[in-house]
Homo-oligomer: A and B are copies of this chain.
C-alpha cells in the first residue's frame, strides 16, 4: 500500500521529484506576482502598451500550470505517495489552479488598465487602486513564502489579511458609486476602476485559498470552511497568528 519507504532509492527519487515540482510552483507564483506588479506599474505610468504586454504574457502562467499538473499526475502514478507526501501533491494541484486564475485576473486587470491609460486620468493617479494593489501583492508574496517554508503561522496570518483586502475593496466600491452618482459622465471610467479592484479582491481570495492548502498540508485538516477563530486556534502557535491590523 505504502511504497515510499520500500527502498531508499525510491524515497530519494520521490524527494527529488517533489522538490522539483515545489520549485516550479514557486516559479509560477513569482511569475503571477510579477504580472500583477507590472500591470499596476503600467497604471502608474499610464502606459497602455506595457499593460497589453502583461495581458499577452498570461500564456506563460498557463503553460507552467499544465507542466506542473502533468508532473503531479506522474508523481501520483509512479510514486503513489501517502500521508503528508500525498497531501503535498494534492495541495500543489490545487495551488496551481488558484495561481492560474490569479494570472487570469492579472490579465483582466491589465486589459482594463490598457483601456484606462488611453483616457483622461483622475488627479490622484488612481492612488486607491495602487494602494490596494500593493497590499494584494504583499499578500501574494507572503502566501508564497508560507508555501515555500510550509509555515503554518505565516499562512494563517496571511489568510486573515484577506479581511483587510475585502474592507479596502468595499470602501473603494462605495466611493466609486458616489463618484458615479455625482458625475454620470464618469460612469464608464469608474466602472473600469470597480472591475479592477474587484479582480484584485479576487486575487486576495485565491491567495487565501493557497494559505489554506499550506495549513491542510501541514496539519492534515481542511480549514477552508472553518471560521477564522477556529483557524487561529488550529494554528497552535504562541504568537505569530495575530489578526491582521
Give the interface of A toward B (CB within 8 A). Answer: 1, 3, 59, 62-63, 65-66, 69-70, 73, 76-78, 80, 82-83, 86-87, 90, 93-94, 97, 177, 180-181, 184, 187-188, 191, 222, 224-225
B225 x A59 contact (CB < 8 A): yes
B181 x A78 contact (CB < 8 A): no
How many copies of this chain does the complex contain? 2
A86 x B76 contact (CB < 8 A): yes
A80 x B3 contact (CB < 8 A): yes
A73 and B94 in contact, given A78-B1, A187-B177 (Cβ under 8 angstroms) = no
B225 x A66 contact (CB < 8 A): yes
A224 x B62 contact (CB < 8 A): yes
A134 to B80, CA, bound (A): 43
A17 to chain B, nearest CB (A): 14
Chain B residues lying within 8 Å of A73, measured Cβ to Cβ, are 86-87, 90
A44 to B45, CA, bound (A): 46
A225 x B62 contact (CB < 8 A): yes
A97 to B98, CA, bound (A): 10
A70 x B184 contact (CB < 8 A): no
A149 to B43, CA, bound (A): 47
Chain B residues lying within 8 Å of A63, measured Cβ to Cβ, are 225
A70 to B90, CA, bound (A): 11
A76 x B76 contact (CB < 8 A): yes
Q: Which residue in B77, B97, B188, B225 is a CB contact (below 8 Å) of A97?
A: B97
Chain B residues lying within 8 Å of A69, measured Cβ to Cβ, are 222
A86 to B76, CA, bound (A): 8
Chain B residues lying within 8 Å of A76, measured Cβ to Cβ, are 76, 86, 90
A188 to B222, CA, bound (A): 38
A37 to chain B, nearest CB (A): 23
Chain B residues lying within 8 Å of A222, measured Cβ to Cβ, are 66, 69-70
Chain B residues lying within 8 Å of A188, measured Cβ to Cβ, are 177
Chain B residues lying within 8 Å of A80, measured Cβ to Cβ, are 1, 3, 80
Chain B residues lying within 8 Å of A66, measured Cβ to Cβ, are 222, 224-225
